[in-house]
Amino acid sequence: MKKKINIAIDGYSSTGKSTIAKKLAESLGYVYVDTGAMYRAVTYFAVKNHIISKDFFKKEELISKLNQIDLKFIFNKDLGHAEIYLNGKNVEENIRNLEISNLVSRIAEVSEVRRKLVEQQQKIGKDKGVVMDGRDIGTVVFPDAELKIFMTASAEKRAQRRYKEMIGKGESVNLEEVIKNVTERDRIDTNRKDSPLIMAEDAVLLDNSDLSADETFEKAMELVAEKI
Ligand code: DC
């Protein structure tokens, strides 16, 4: 039997991390965990409770209400992967719009939020067999992950991908807005004090600016094969 490992996939916004992570998990029979969805669900909670908007952020109130936030991943058989639930409600459809995307990096800067989510992520991965994507997986969540992939691509390519995805879902956005969101999020994620987005020393860099999703997946599978 092949040995079970943990796979950490980090990198910039809209590099296709979740697509690759999902496909890897599916073909290896591993659990896929989208940690961005967890930060997004906390952001959705904060929006709904009038804790954050584009004009204000009541950080202390969020910290005092963190114990009211329960996040769970529940496997959806039809989709073949897990979906995120906030206090018992499936919020997948509520967390990927531009409003949440524009606020999430500010929520992700809060150390108390990070501590809560990282603890949950580490529990999920303690028995191995997990593919987790995010920004700090190889550096903070699983510094001992057997395979760490750091994904990047040019800002234009990334914005175009995110734009197509959003248009495909029927959202009315323009490309300019999406480029602004992607670059601004990367700036905040890279510069924050707590667990900034950086490549772990032992991560493998995967630039997919000129690769299709299938080619990116093939490269990732080659890296997995070397480890198991
Ligand atoms: O992967 P994503 O674009 O859905 O992530 C949304 C935001 O959440 C991202 O801009 C930064 C934050 N994030 C984080 O700080 N740490 C993670 N492990 C995952 C996401």
Contact 23, 214 (CB under 8 A): no
Strands 147-152 and 130-134: unpaired
| Ligand 1 nearest atom to the CA of residue 17, by list position | 1
Of the candidates 155, 142, 158, which has an alpha carbon nearest to the alpha carbon of residue 200?
142
Taking the C-alpha atoms of residue 41 and residue 120, their distance in angstroms, rounded to an integer, is: 14
Contact 171, 191 (CB under 8 A): no
Which pLDDT score is estimated for 166?
86
Q: How far is the CA of 107 from the centre of ligand 1 (A)?
A: 10
CA dihedral 224, 96, 55, 49 (to 10 degrees): -100
Average pLDDT over residues 216-221: 96
pLDDT more than 90, % of the chain = 83
pLDDT at residue 7 is higher than 90: yes
Strands 147-152 and 204-207: parallel
pLDDT at residue 93 is higher than 90: yes
Q: Who wins on pLDDT, 75 or 1?
A: 75
pLDDT at residue 9 is higher than 80: yes
pTM: 0.94
Copy the structure tokens of residue 172: 């009315």
Copy the structure tokens of residue 158: 């990334």
pLDDT at residue 118 is higher than 70: yes
Reported as a single tens digit per residue, the pLDDT across 67-83 is 999 999 999 999 888 99
pLDDT band at 162 (very low <50, low <70, confident <90, very high): confident
- CA nearest ligand 1 atom 2, residue: 36
Report which DSSP code applies to 201.
T
Of the candidates 30, 26, 27, which has an alpha carbon nearest to the alpha carbon of residue 7?
30
40 CB within 6 A, ligand 1: yes
Which residues lie across from 149 on neighbouring strands? 9, 204
Taking the C-alpha atoms of residue 225 and residue 228, their distance in angstroms, rounded to an integer, is: 6
pLDDT at residue 104 is higher than 90: yes
Q: Which of 15, 20, 35, 139 to mutate to test the pocket of ligand 1 (most atoms within 8 A of CB)?
A: 35
How much is the mean pLDDT over the chain?
94
Which pLDDT score is estimated for 142?
98
Average pLDDT over residues 140-152: 97
CATH 3.10.20.740 corresponds to the domain 6-227: no
Report which DSSP code applies to 57.
B
43 CB within 6 A, ligand 1: no
Strands 71-76 and 81-86: antiparallel
Which pLDDT score is estimated for 156?
87
pLDDT at residue 1 is higher than 70: no
pLDDT more than 70, % of the chain = 100
